[in-house]
Amino acid sequence: MILQQFYLQCLAHASYLVGDEQTRTATVVDPQRDVDQYLAFAEQHGLRIAHVVLTHLHADFIAGHLELRDRVGATIYLGAAAHAEYAFVPLHDGDHIDMGRVRLQAIETPGHTPESISLAVYDLEHSATAANAVLTGDTLFIGDVGRPDLRAALGWSAADLGGLLYDSLRSKLMALPDESLVYPAHGAGSLCGKALSRETVSTIGEQRRSNYALQPMTRAAFVDLVTTDQPDAPPYFTFDAVLNSKERPTLDQALARELNPMSLDLVLALQRTGGQIVDTRDAGEFAAAHLSGTINIGLGGQYATWAGTILSRDRPIVIIADPGREHEAAIRLGRIGFDHIVGYLQDGLRSVESRPDLTTTTTRLAAPLAAERLATGAVVALDVRSPAEREQKSIPGSISVPLNHLRERVGELPVDRPLLVYCAGGYRSAIAASLLQQLGFSDVSELAGGIAAWDAAKLPL
């Protein structure tokens, strides 16, 4: 048996290839939309990808099931409760995909979504009754369980799904052998739960002992537990969940339409008519010089998640990137279904060198200098981290508007005083400062290095 995990750090997403060396047949589970790595792995090991399974209709990324269907003819499988425009094989409890000596057996585990399934993995040479592993999708994570509130916009209450999740975990997954390996679809950094571990594999027994949501409690207590204190879900989550059920263009088709070099004049014209210009460079480079009115969402962080949070799905996107990285920027937006890119600025910011009148800068202050200015009342500190982060520590006197709510709550900010924006390390503050500049705030600076730099300088918290 071959069982290979593929981990995509920026989306905290785990996908899997399970194969049988004897029959040379493989199944890919919960693939990301750009599928080349699965094809390369299969070719390297002499495998044919015959099947692709989604454990549920994911909300935080667009899966690569249609790409694998169209590239290699893989058959698509979904949970039996799923509805989709494309042809798929429904998996009920006990249904299985046999690949010679390796078997994937479906376990219906509704709760995170109504159609969620898990897949018990059997190496039939050793046992047909004791699962070697279970691919749990978003039902069971390492240290957490899937949140049940992401289908509210589609008519499912969090309480109802929470009750189903309680049953799925206790009567189905916890019935597996303690030694069965647990492979979830997400890890730390995912917004599909609130306390996911950085570990990417565990066992049923370890989760039974240590997972807070699997401890003895009533159904009502469990529902209360898993429906409170969940992080805000980005607005694209419902869009992605629906799109994963649709027949849509493949990523290759989308990229062929999107990767168009654009002149500076064309980009400026599009900007004037409502186009979204996204500068994907490092925050330091952006601060030194950038095209006025652009949003900085750097490729070095959770680029797709924040792009999906800050940008509109209804207005065209133009990418500014270091030459050679335009393709990466477009692929990573394609992973969340943002296929409304119209092109990229040819030659990146170099094309603006002869037009300094079009550029602006953002001041980045070292922690000691920022502290001096705050002490004199010269600036107001704006904390754009999450409420949970702020509860741990914050800069005295700062005001709090989380980045994901900044646009809607911009009216709460003082317009007559300079703003000093900070986050944990500087990634989100760069996004926030660029957004504030776009919204008309003329005197915006950043705390270089975020609260981590402030703490390292032993300044008061």
Q: Kindly provide the b/e burial profile for residues 155-191, where b requires at least 16 CB atoms within 10 angstroms of the residue's own CB.
A: ebebebbbbbbbebbeebbbebeeebbbbbbbbbebb
Q: What is the DSSP secondary-structure string of 323-342? A: TT-HHHHHHHHHTTT---EE
Beta strands 181-184; 290-291: pairing state: unpaired
SS3 assignment, position 446: strand
One of 42, 267, 349, 423 is an active-site residue; which one? 423
Place of tokens 């508007």: 401
Q: What Å distances lie between residue 392 and 5, 385, 386, CA to CA?
A: 34, 11, 10
Distance, CA of 257 to chain centre: 24
Does the annotation mark 423 as catalytic? Answer: yes
Distance CA 138, CA 56 (A): 8
**In this structure, what is the dihedral angle of CA atoms 399, 404, 408, 410, given to the nearest 10 degrees?**
30
**Phi and psi angles of residue 10, each rounded to the nearest 5 degrees, phi first:** -65, -25
Question: Are 365 and 420 contacting, i.e. CB atoms less than 8 angstroms apart?
Answer: yes
Distance CA 226, CA 244 (A): 25
Beta strands 181-184; 202-203: pairing state: antiparallel
Give the residue ranges of DSSP H helices in 273-426. Answer: 283-288, 303-310, 326-334, 367-375, 387-392
Distance CA 134, CA 202 (A): 10
Nearest to 374 by CA among 424, 443, 433, 420: 420
Distance CA 243, CA 86 (A): 11
Nearest to 448 by CA among 413, 418, 420: 420
Question: Are 214 and 175 contacting, i.e. CB atoms less than 8 angstroms apart?
Answer: no
Question: Are 422 and 395 contacting, i.e. CB atoms less than 8 angstroms apart?
Answer: yes
Number of H helices, E strands in the chain: 15, 24
Beta strands 419-422; 399-400: pairing state: unpaired
- Taking residue 332's Cβ as centre, other Cβ atoms within 10 Å add up to 22
Show which residues are catalytic.
423
